[in-house]
Structure 1
């Protein structure tokens, strides 16, 4: 059985599951240096993705489109070749508590001039299915709670087991976009008109708040305003527009700005982060008491807010759950996988998916521009180059899924110089306060970080131990934390082999790791793109080192 999942709106992607195994997921932003959050506006993208894996659309048994805006149904205006077509899909959220797997069936999916039928499930179903089916809980046959918190939804709590899933409750009335909205009122991203909405602002604020301090008096202001105004907050999800849902949120922050105009913006944002974190942890604790008849000690976190590593860590540290799982694609970059998993769940239940995070596009052949010389390069030689404090673009095998570079489309560098973080931020045109992540051998991580537990997808917060901060300053954030990625020493991925060699040379089992991409665009698809970028002088790809000639 081949199931093709399609995400048409922002973070557009095509995924294929065959007999319970993820064959590929191609996010449009990872093609041809496309812009971040690229949509699929032409169905030819589906045809191309299938053809790259030797498949025709007629080889697919089921097509599934991720649901989107709409209370009853969603609509998509796309092209098939040069012909405009309209497709109808499921709404954003389920119609009733047990309606997650209620499909909307359609026809008119034109691929290569052939008309295919398709199904569509609610957008939140895709998030839940992708998170649970990739989790260790699914593999163990254990039920779990699932927190789905997207930009355009309130935090929604679900219960999922092998046979079914159901909606339990909204935890509190605050859409995920509120976090980014705070940045349009305070700090470096403040805008008077708030017209240009940037999906990346929330992640930048998560870094910026390390400049500030948490102030209980500021938190008290937000608490009072929330109690006064929370009844006006709306969950859009098709019931209203995203703009109208944001109006009361902006009014909330306008009122806060009047009362906090003498406070430093970094303190205001740090305190608002803490306010929301307390809301989240406290509301989940209360919900667990209300649903104590469900003796579940597992939690999946998904939706765009699942990228907030500090909230993830707070929930893990609260002691409410035995285990917390966040997939590497909690935002809409995982929605194509989720659409396919929804159809799988409708047929077989919420069964475990066989998958790898390195299931994106392979490195594409390319013509490297003049001025770059190629030579064979072993991992030992590459480790020596890195030890001399020179960054290297590292392209290996298939791209990672989701928004984090995890060693397949990375810029790697030694972490031993504080200047390296500034250098990497400069060449990537990033703000000075943005952190650079460490990629570390898993068995050494507890010696260097707290807790230092396995974190292969860079989705939790870790504190750098005091005795290591001066040894690896480039990966230590302003608050002493690190967005750690761990990788097993015995992994077949080339970056693990490189880390072993680097450790043997230097005694340090980690490197700086940041994404290899143009500012505001997806990962480099090939060597030529990295060379044309021309901001790092050495590019390693599958055994060959390309070096810019003087």
Structure 2
């Protein structure tokens, strides 16, 4: 039985589960070098994506569409929401489920059913739709190791459209119990606080426009800012006067509205005018306060339930916060902690397919790996590039001796927002200048960190805790005796967003490369950052990587493409651009 999950709005795409195996998940941003967070602009794209993986749309048993926000001006039925999109170029209003629950007792597993109402290329297909939050709950739980063992688990969902809400999933009864809200700040708080403090600070006029857009169409204030804020606050220090004041600022300004995050940040802004602190200090202090609230409220929920030590999943965009993830794990409140590599809306299509599977089969888990995105497109290499055979062992030698970054394209793309070794810029981590080099070619701010990708068996030697973390979603500290050996991957606070690569990893080529590089250099890790144009999804093909042209080498399928016309000059990590591009 096949289940096709569909996410139409931002981070749009489709995912296919056959029986209980995730066959593929394709986000639109990773197709044809589309913009980051691209949605499905026309329903005909659904058939194109299915065909790209060899599936006939007429053979799909169930289509399941992600729910979304209710616009009261466009619907009189509060059980439905409306998404305005197109089908074969014609505007349509597609009915879907809502974003989240109206009450604790509302059943998240109740689907809306629409017969012959999904028009794709002249045919009408029947589909169901679940609440958006249901997709987050089930994408995280069904992908977890707990689901495979039929163990219960808590699931915390905190994204841009809702408060942090805790659920309890029982795979044996197939029920999701809503445990309620932890506190009353939506996941937008992280981006919005960056509009008041730090390098992305906005004027009051710009903030007012943001709030107007939020009222009109659910605009969340910038999807790309939160991760950058997490990087920037590494330069700060906790201000304990502010930290002690934040609970009262939260309490005295609290209101249930989409504007509370702004009201809270304005109160912080007013308070900090009278104390000595940098913007990085303020952001780190707010982050710490939120972290303390998460843990405190989780402790209270768990104490009230009094279950045996339980498992825990985290989903929603806030689950991309490696500092919070690690702090939750370090509390030992839970038996085990799992965060999928697609916790934000990049996993919503997967969640919808999981909801269909949950409803129509006896399965409560999926078998999966993160390398089931789009294939590398066949393409013509542009003029000015030479093509030579190059094994992974040869590539390891080049990385070690040339000390230049390489575009590394392998197999199918990763799912989720992190580059996990199949669509990466890779480089040796031994040069103190390499981070500046990579940030410059990617047009990123100088404070942005570069992540390490490391052989699992060596991780604990270099990092603390250095445990298995294959999806780059937890914080690790670089051990003192390694900081001078791998300075590129050390953030300003001594941390690193580690990805470990196990011997049985599905990304076999990056594993072989790391093994070969260790034999040559004695270092079992490389730098890893995403291969893409600024503001776009991963490179779709070799041609695009060559046309981007910021590096001299592109590797794919045992072939090295070398820029021979007007190559970029690398000198002690500084990039001397050969053009004004």
Q: Please classify the TM superposition score into its range, dividing by the shorter chain length.
A: over 0.9
Shift, 1:164, TM fit: 1.3
Cα drift, residue 256 of structure 1:
1.5
TM normalised by structure 2 equals 0.91
* Secondary structure at 1:399 match in 2: coil
Instruction: Determine the C-alpha separation between the residues in 1 that align with 2:554 and 2:40.
Output: 30
Contact 1:164/1:349 (8 A) holds in 2: no
Deviations 1:482-532, CA, capped at 9 Å, x for gaps: 000000134351000000000000010000000000011100000011001
In 2: Cα distance, 1:50 partner to 1:282 partner? 45
Cα distance in structure 2, aligned partners of 1:462 and 1:248: 33
User: 2:433 aligns to what SS in structure 1?
Assistant: helix
User: Bigger shift: 431-440 or 87-96?
Assistant: 87-96
Moved more, 349-358 or 164-173: 349-358
Are 1:498 and 2:531 matched, yes or no?
no
Alpha-carbon spacing, 1:165–1:350, altered in 2? closer, same or farther (3 Å): farther
Quote the Cα distance in structure 2 between the aligned partners of 1:474 and 1:283. 37
1:76 aligns with 2:83: yes
Residue equivalent to 1:106: 114
* Cα distance change of structure 1 residues 405 and 354 upon mapping to structure 2, 3 Å threshold: same
Q: C-alpha distance in 1, partners of 2:84/2:185?
A: 30
Q: What is the alpha-carbon distance in structure 2 between the residues aligned to residue 206 and residue 534 of structure 1?
A: 29
The answer to whether the 8 A contact 1:145-1:296 is kept is no
Kindly indicate whether residue 296 of structure 2 is the aligned counterpart of residue 298 of structure 1.
no
CA offset at residue 141 of structure 1? Answer: 0.9
Note the 1:239-278 alignment, pairs <5 A. Answer: 245=258, 247-261=259-273, 262-278=276-292
**Is residue 84–residue 92 contact of structure 2 (8 Å, CA) maintained in 1?**
yes
Distance in 1 between the 2:86 and 2:494 partners? Answer: 49
| 1:459 counterpart = 2:467 | no
Which of 282, 288, 293 aligns to 2:302? It is 288
3-state SS of 1:430 partner? coil
Gapped regions of structure 1 (runs ≥ 5): 235-244
8 Å CA contact retained: 2:158, 2:187: yes
> Which residue number corresponds to residue 155 of structure 1?
164
Asked whether the equivalents of residues 27 and 333 of structure 1 are also in contact (C-alpha less than 8 Å), the reply is: yes
Query: What is the aligned partner in structure 1 of residue 522 from structure 2?
Result: 507
Which residue does 2:385 correspond to in 1? 372
Q: 2:176 aligns with which of 154, 165, 168?
A: 165
Q: Per-residue deviation at 1:278?
A: 0.3
Q: Say whether 1:446 aligns with 2:455.
A: no
The corresponding residue for 1:233 is: 256
The Cα offsets for residues 315-372 of structure 1, whole Å up to 9 and x where unpaired, read as 0001101210000000000000000101111223561101110000000001111000
Distance 1:480 1:102 in 2: 47
Is residue 180 of structure 2 the alignment partner of residue 182 of structure 1? no
How many angstroms apart in 2 are the aligned matches of 1:348 and 1:497?
38
Quote the offset at 1:295 in angstroms: 2.5
Determine the C-alpha separation between the residues in 2 that align with 1:152 and 1:249. 12
1:134 aligns with 2:143: yes
Aligned-partner Cα distance in 2 for 1:287–1:351: 25
Q: Is the 8 A contact 2:253 2:263 kept in 1?
A: no
Instruction: Give distance in 1, aligned partners of 2:416 and 2:55.
Output: 24
**What is the alpha-carbon distance in structure 1 between the residues aligned to residue 127 and residue 519 of structure 2?**
53
Q: For 1:424-445, what per-residue CA distance to the aligned partner results, in whole angstroms no more than 9, with x for missing partners?
A: 0000000111000000000000
Match of 1:241 in 2: none
Deviates more, 1:493-502 or 1:67-76: 67-76
CA-CA distance at 1:296 after TM superposition: 4.4
Contact 1:98-1:165 within 8 A present in 2 as well: no
Question: Secondary structure of the residue that 2:155 maps to in structure 1?
Answer: strand
Displacement of 1:53:
2.1
- Deviation for aligned residue 1:88: 0.4
- Number of equivalences: 537
- Aligned partner of residue 346 in structure 1, secondary structure: helix
Deviations 1:230-287 (A, max 9, x none): 2x133xxxxxxxxxx0x23212211211120242111111100000000001110111
Per-residue Cα deviation, 1:394-439 (whole angstroms, up to 9, x for no partner): 0000000000000000000000011000000000000111000000
Distance 1:273 1:350, change over 3 A: farther
Tell me, what secondary structure is at the counterpart of 2:561? strand
With 214-223 and 154-163 compared, the bigger mean Cα shift is at 214-223
Other structure's SS at 1:545 match: strand
Shift of 1:189: 0.6
- Displacement of 1:374 in angstroms is 0.5
Instruction: List gaps (5 residues or longer) in structure 2.
Output: 71-77, 211-220, 566-581
Contact 1:133–1:350 (Cα < 8 Å) also in 2: no
Of 302-311 and 490-499, deviating more is 490-499
SS at match of 1:341: helix
Contact in 2 for aligned 1:129/1:350 (Cα 8 Å): no
3-state SS, counterpart of residue 147 of structure 2: helix
Q: Report deviation, 1:55.
A: 2.0
How far apart are the structure 2 equivalents of 1:111 and 1:130?
25
Distance 2:545 2:175 in 1: 46
Cα separation, 1, equivalents of 2:270 and 2:313: 38
Q: Does 1:538 align with 2:549?
A: no
CA 1:263/1:349 → structure 2, altered by over 3 Å: closer, same or farther? Answer: farther
Q: Deviations over 1:447-481 (max 9, x none)?
A: 00000000000000000000000000000000000
The residue matched to 2:290 in structure 1 has which SS?
helix
